[in-house]
A = this chain, B = another copy of it.
Amino acid sequence: MIPKLNIVPFVSVDHMMSLVLAKGVERFTVELAGYIEEDFRRWDMFDKTPRVASHSAEGVIELMPTSDGTHYGFKYVNGHPKNTREGRQTVTAFGVLSDVGNGYPVLLSEMTILTALRTAAMSALAARYLAPKGSRAMAIIGNGAQCEFQALAFKALLGIESVRLFDIDPEATKKAMTNLAGSGLTLEPCTSAEAAVQGVDIITTVTADKQNATILTDNMIGSGVHINAVGGDCPGKTELHRDILLRAGIFVEFEPQTRIEGEIQQLPAEHSVQELWKVIRGEAPGRADSHQITLFDSVGFAVEDFSALRYVRDSLTDTAFSTDLDLLADPDEPRDLFGMLLRHQKVAAAAP
């Protein structure tokens, strides 16, 4: 069969939901973490450009491209904190995967849901290398759109059994409790961040305020804890008190980007951090001992989106979870674009 060269498979929001449900959220995050791990192991093959941001008073629109030399991917993502007031998402995203050899897109996909899943998979993957052995209890501070995905990814990848939840808005915590009711996790709603972190092995912060906040202070962090800091991801947006950073072993995705966007924007540029891919490759140590505080200062990097697009594309085989999009003008004779237009006119005129 001759492939239709004009067609790009498109995964809509509806289809993404069906794909995720068909796999199950836990299996999806486990498999996706496998793709991310694979790509982090071949980190040096990737073209690592910083994201291209267009800032305005209301928010930011970013393009995040990368390539491994065989495929090229980019994600479009916005961040508009005031959007929720009008019933819109703060963050929405879509992405494209292309063939480097001919430049043709091979997948267009929604990425709002996919980004929540890839962020959760990335967090849990990092924790597998950094969290204390035998971690069973975690706290999630910030119970918004990403909370449940984080909980299920940590259950699936690390064997987390109980989750302590806190949000400044009790309705958000209630929503997360309801959504996770059938998950098999033991859930504990808490009335403060201090209460939430009591006795846990892992703390995830995933709050939404666009400011330098102090979700965690130094006195709240006991020895040996792993912190997964997800919410601080752009200039002027951090979640941790600086003193915590000074006590912790800090792990990042891509240092040049995290210096600008992560918690470590609070630290001098010479403060030592470790890129996670080196730990995954066994080229750098992860957690030093059971007393060390480890911090994954996550901001989200283009390679993770690339892995996610690659995973979705591979998962589509023999499913009905995509539609054909007539995105690429592909005349029979490549140099005859105008002739294609004329033939289209004839076909339209001949139609009854």
Contact = CB atoms under 8 A, between A and B. Distances in A.
Interface stretch (A97-105, A216-224, A241-249): A97-105
Contacts of A134: none
Interface stretch (A60-68, A156-164, A288-296): A60-68
Interface stretch (A78-86, A123-131, A195-203, A225-233): A78-86
The 8 closest A-B pairs by CB, nearest first: A78-B103, A112-B329, A148-B338, A12-B326, A145-B337, A17-B344, A144-B335, A84-B334
Given A49-B52, A87-B5, A339-B175, A101 B58 contact: yes
A76 B54 contact: no
Interface stretch (A30-38, A88-96, A185-193, A276-284): A88-96
Interface residues of A, number: 84
Contacts of A345: 21
A52 B54 contact: no
A14 interface: yes
A174 to B, nearest CB: 11
A254 interface: no
How many chain copies does the complex carry? 2
Interface of A: 5-6, 10, 12-14, 16-18, 20-21, 25, 47, 49, 52, 54, 56, 58-61, 63, 65, 67, 69, 72, 74, 76, 78-80, 83-84, 86-90, 92, 94, 96, 98, 100-105, 110, 112-113, 116, 144-149, 172, 175-176, 178-179, 325-342, 344-345, 348
Contacts of A17: 340-341, 344
8 contacts: A17-B340, A47-B54, A52-B52, A52-B63, A52-B65, A90-B334, A112-B337, A148-B338
B334 A56 contact: no
B179 A338 contact: yes
B54 A330 contact: no
Given A145-B335, A178-B339, 14 more contacts: A6-B13, A12-B325, A49-B52, A56-B67, A63-B74, A78-B104, A80-B102, A84-B334, A88-B334, A89-B329, A110-B327, A112-B337, A145-B338, A149-B337
